[in-house]
Structure 1
Amino acid sequence: MPTPRQAHAHRLSALLVVLIAGALASLHGTAAAPGGQAAPPPNVVVILTDDQGYGDVAAFNPASRIPTPHIDQLAREGMRFTDAHTSSSVCTPTRYALLTGRYSWRTSLKKGVLWGNGDALIEARRPTIASVLKARGYHTAAVGKWHLGIHWAARPGAQVDRTTTQGPTEWIDYTQPFSGGPLDVGFDEFFGIAASLDMRDYVYLEGNRVVEPPTANLPGIPQGVPGFHRPGAAAPSFRPETVIDEVTARAVRVIETQARASTPFFLYVPFAAPHTPMLPTGSFVGRTPLGPYGDFVAQTDAAVGTVLAALARTGQADRTLVIFASDNGPAPAGGIAKLLDLGHDAAGGWRGTKHTLYEGGTRVPFVVRWPGVVKAGSVTRRTVVITDVLRTVADAVGAPVSDGAEDSVSFLPVLRDPETSVPLHEAIVMQSDAGAFAIRQGKWKLLLAPGDGRASDIGAPPDGRPPVQLYDLDADPKETTNLQAAHPEVVKRLQDLLARYERQGRSR
């Protein structure tokens, strides 16, 4: 029989083991299970909508005229970020930044987006969320709009065009497997489309092959119409209006399959909606007073709800970390001015839209739900950027990130405590469609452009405007008063900081 001193020592040792286990679980984002063992790492679901503005979610804009009950419920059950940004105000750069934790302007893509014929943008062996989690034992799946380029197989003797512009696609051999896509950057499975739904060619991809070659033709719908898409070759069975349903169904199938598996899963769902073509269907037609744009946003919310319902139905909701965001601000193609006349501000009161450097171009709805870790209904004003998702998810599941993710900072401490003062970014960088830069540090935001940063602005002749703009977002959140002349020292400091980030190849 142990002596009282030995018994006391044994109890202290046991307590120490439990405390260490709890501390390690906290460090890695997992709760301590009964018996002092760390709970299994969470599933991770990242949902990205396309061109959905800050004001297009009622949880972020109480005056919204679009019902978004499912995203609103996610916000009530999780944490709402009111100062979350994408790294760019257009599609491809944001997707690259999200998956790699690195600004896309460090690649060959200095402006604009890729097209359906564009070459693979994510470099071989570059760490991604998928590859990091796969190494941790996760099953990894992507379903939806890829828009990060593909290295297509070429027809023998064809004139190959892998440019980032909308070049010819006749050289592509759709009967052969492609490379450089999702399966080559860490995903175990993929189903979706190569680029935006208004970009040819119109085919579904599964794994590393085209499901059905584009032997038919899809007539285009002109710009200025909500259903706008470019003409191009299409698979005979491809219907743009059913893509949102196909993507949703495939995402649900992944959840249902993986719920029966013994390993955790990572599911990335980049919807192609409510980007053009805005094609609401069924009961969603006429759902809002705003026409096709509002109706399509409502249908997108319902699709998000279907994915979340699958998590609940399969018993996975309580053990899944869900991140929801949009890839940039609302698109002018949605008829922003008309929406304002109808009482709906898609940008949620912020200046600018998709394509621009103003807040409306990059400040997006951003929600994180993680039962047992994130306090339901919490809100944070901490500034985060889409690159941060990689290191945050890696920290949450206890996965090491030995290299890469040069512009990613984990905001896991914020998820645990929205009031924490732990340092995050020194500054964040954003880019317009034309490649113009903005850098944000605290209340100060510097735009390295005379106007909104779009191609039409960058290429315009000098008109007497200052070449840069400086705004105090605390005092002037709508970016109305340029303070560059009053604070040249701030302008220089931010210019020097951006130059350092470019020079050293990282910002963290």
Structure 2
Amino acid sequence: MKTLLQLSVFCLILQFFSCASPEQSEEKAEYPNVIVILADDLGYGDIGAFNPEGKILTPNIDQLAAEGMKFTDAHTPSAVCTPTRYGFLTGRYNWRSTLKSGVLTGKSPALIEDERTTIADVMKSAGYHTAFIGKWHLGWNWGLVDGDTLRGEGWDAKDFEQIDFSKPITHTPNDLGFDYAYGHSGSLDMAPYVYVENGKVTAIPDTVTVNTGKYSWWREGPTSPDFDHEEVTPNFFDRSIQYIEEQSKTENPFFLYLALPSPHTPILPPADWQGKSGLAPYADFMMMIDDYVGQVNAVIKNAGIDENTLIIFTSDNGGSPAAGLDVMQGAGHFSSYIYRGHKADIYEGGHRVPFIAKWPAKIQAGSSREQTICLTDMMATGAEITGYDLKDDEGEDSYSLLPLFDAGKQVDQFREATVSHSINGSFAIRQGDWKLIMAKGSGGWSAPKPNTPAEEGLPDVQLYNLASDPGETNNLQAENPEKVASLKALLTKYIKEGRSTPGAPQKNDPIEGEWKQIGFVEE
């Protein structure tokens, strides 16, 4: 729980960073405030506005969609947390970085180099005050005990013995364009369980906690006295609401990245939300999140900044089976809606997510778009909003959404193609209605799982026409060898040239050893 002292310090920090120059004051009327709310492990079908058959009540997020624009074919660059967050912040596909598969842990070093431009850098260069609040999960460099080095992967409690929590942390969000940063290092089930504010731990861990509930579990690890797992999501929302209120009184625009740790496990709805859905703890948790989104929308309106504030609500990947999706499915609620798979998979359920954009000054209420978009597109969107000219080594896989925000404008072709990635590094490429998967199975957690008997005898690739087969049930690769070849060639081109947008070729980040693609080898 936040103490009065913590809130006072937070307010002073906001006041310090909110000072605007005369030039920035003049730009306030031109540039919108931008708020991105990124949910964690929220399925496409978990929002009523996207799933008419859904059983979870989400009236506030539905209202946000009614007041703005729905994107019904929005995708994350990856089917898991860390790589999607990398793509969102950099406008670059995660597999171009040193992380070729999987996710980071709570002790992992920083993945994004300080020199790489992020969307926060872009907004800050235009006079925005920039803030990150929430789950980072992109690594930062913890202070270490003198003479010690990092040991272990960060999955066990003993892996944190060499961290000195009293020392400053380096390579933090503050080094990547954020004026203010407050959050925790990994997922809410990954130790250490401490808040970090502008590079410093807010309270030194004084105990070790673990939880073994079916849906509320978290790994054993050091925990600070001000870190209450059940209060983490409410804390992030409360701080974000306070931030919006404070910034609305200043002259310069602001960019807020609110990265929720929920409804990812541990599923922890507070007592007053437990059982409200009549469905499952996950649904209770989601209803609480929906209520807070409503509070964010209301505070924007009450502050008088609604007209020129762009709010994005989306998710980092599909719903997780660890959250009890099977229980909800038994009650008639399908987290992935009509799509196959879930979190971690290369199938649509792994990376197709709800995406809502509300900006009354520019976006027609109740509108929708069917074009395929990707979370990497936020980088170029921020650049076009602010007039920033992206260099060849910035936002290599990012297309601006601004043309799509005009509901009355016909956009025949938005992005050439979109690449997706699963937890084990399997690729898929989508162009128009066609999707080519460079793997025999899911590349993730659903059947057929990688390297299992279920994959034996299956073709090496999968080709689906999503217009006629959104559930990816009929593999058409044998009947369409030319389509397979053309999509594979385009994917190979994107990999080799280091970009999927027009511009000078770039290099993917080097790694130790040989980088072999899952399902095919780069020529």
Same fold (TM over 0.5): yes
* Match for residue 110 of structure 1 among 69, 92, 100: 100
Query: 3-state DSSP class of the match of 1:127?
Result: coil
How does 1:428-443 map onto structure 2 within 5 Å? Answer: 428-443=418-433
- Confirm or deny: 8 A CA contact 1:90 1:354 kept in the other structure: yes
* Match for residue 503 of structure 1 among 468, 475, 496: 496
- Confirm or deny: 8 A CA contact 1:65 1:289 kept in the other structure: no
> How far, CA to CA, are the matches of 1:162 and 1:62 in structure 2?
46
> What is the CA deviation profile of residues 416-458 of structure 1, one whole-angstrom value per residue up to 9, with x for unaligned ones?
1365225321110011111111111111101111111117822
Q: Which residue of 1 aligns with 2:186?
A: 195
Q: Which residue of 2 aligns with 1:150?
A: 140
Query: 3-state DSSP class of the match of 2:218?
Result: coil
Q: Which residue of 1 aligns with 2:18?
A: none
> How far, CA to CA, are the matches of 1:490 and 1:453 in structure 2?
21
Query: 3-state DSSP class of the match of 2:467?
Result: coil
Q: Which residue of 2 aligns with 1:372?
A: 361
Asked whether 1:88 is paired with 2:81, we answer no
Give the drift of 1:276: 0.3
How does 1:355-504 map onto structure 2 within 5 Å? Answer: 355-402=344-391, 403-417=393-407, 420-454=410-444, 457-460=449-452, 463-504=456-497
> How far, CA to CA, are the matches of 1:216 and 1:418 in structure 2?
57
Q: Structure 1 unaligned runs (5+)?
A: 1-36
How does 1:6-21 map onto structure 2 within 5 Å? Answer: none
> What is the CA deviation profile of residues 41-62 of structure 1, one whole-angstrom value per residue up to 9, with x for unaligned ones?
1110011001111110000011
> What is the CA deviation profile of residues 338-366 of structure 1, one whole-angstrom value per residue up to 9, with x for unaligned ones?
21110111111111100101111111000
> How far, CA to CA, are the matches of 1:192 and 1:119 in structure 2?
16
> How far, CA to CA, are the matches of 1:418 and 1:495 in structure 2?
35
- Confirm or deny: 8 A CA contact 1:221 1:231 kept in the other structure: no
> What is the CA deviation profile of residues 212-249 of structure 1, one whole-angstrom value per residue up to 9, with x for unaligned ones?
12121112315xx1101111110123210000111011
Q: Residue 194 of structure 2 aligns to which amino acid in structure 1?
A: V
- Confirm or deny: 8 A CA contact 1:81 1:366 kept in the other structure: yes
Give the drift of 1:318: 1.3
TM-score normalised over the length of structure 1 = 0.90
Asked whether 1:343 is paired with 2:328, we answer no
Q: Which residue of 1 aligns with 2:6?
A: none
> What is the CA deviation profile of residues 273-328 of structure 1, one whole-angstrom value per residue up to 9, with x for unaligned ones?
10000010132111102120100011111122222222112112111011111110
The alpha-carbon distance between structure 1 residues 328 and 443, as it changes in their structure 2 partners (threshold 3 A), is: same
> How far, CA to CA, are the matches of 2:151 and 2:444 in structure 1?
26
Q: Residue 377 of structure 2 aligns to which amino acid in structure 1?
A: D
Query: 3-state DSSP class of the match of 2:211?
Result: coil
Query: 3-state DSSP class of the match of 1:364?
Result: strand
Q: Residue 172 of structure 1 aligns to which amino acid in structure 2?
A: I
Give the drift of 1:165: 6.4
Query: 3-state DSSP class of the match of 1:317?
Result: coil
* Match for residue 317 of structure 2 among 328, 338, 342: 328
Matched residue pairs, number? 470
Query: 3-state DSSP class of the match of 1:368?
Result: strand
How does 1:236-385 map onto structure 2 within 5 Å? Answer: 236-385=225-374
Q: Residue 216 of structure 1 aligns to which amino acid in structure 2?
A: T
Q: Which residue of 2 aligns with 1:171?
A: 162
Q: Structure 2 unaligned runs (5+)?
A: 1-26, 502-523
Give the drift of 1:63: 1.4
Query: 3-state DSSP class of the match of 1:379?
Result: strand
Name the larger-Rg structure: 1
> How far, CA to CA, are the matches of 2:358 and 2:167 in structure 1?
40
- Confirm or deny: 8 A CA contact 1:352 1:359 kept in the other structure: yes
Q: Which residue of 1 aligns with 2:505?
A: none
- Confirm or deny: 8 A CA contact 1:113 1:164 kept in the other structure: no
Query: 3-state DSSP class of the match of 2:205?
Result: coil
Q: Which residue of 1 aligns with 2:113?
A: 123
Q: Residue 217 of structure 1 aligns to which amino acid in structure 2?
A: V
Q: Alpha carbon RMSD of aligned pairs, Å? A: 1.6
> What is the CA deviation profile of residues 375-426 of structure 1, one whole-angstrom value per residue up to 9, with x for unaligned ones?
1000110000110011112212333323410000112111013652253211
Q: Residue 196 of structure 2 aligns to which amino acid in structure 1?
A: L
Q: Which structure 1 residue ranges, 4+ long, deviate > 4 Å from structure 2?
A: 162-167
TM-score normalised over the length of structure 2 = 0.87
Q: Which residue of 2 aligns with 1:182?
A: 173
Query: 3-state DSSP class of the match of 2:219?
Result: coil
The alpha-carbon distance between structure 1 residues 321 and 288, as it changes in their structure 2 partners (threshold 3 A), is: same
- Confirm or deny: 8 A CA contact 1:413 1:422 kept in the other structure: no
> How far, CA to CA, are the matches of 2:329 and 2:397 in structure 1?
36
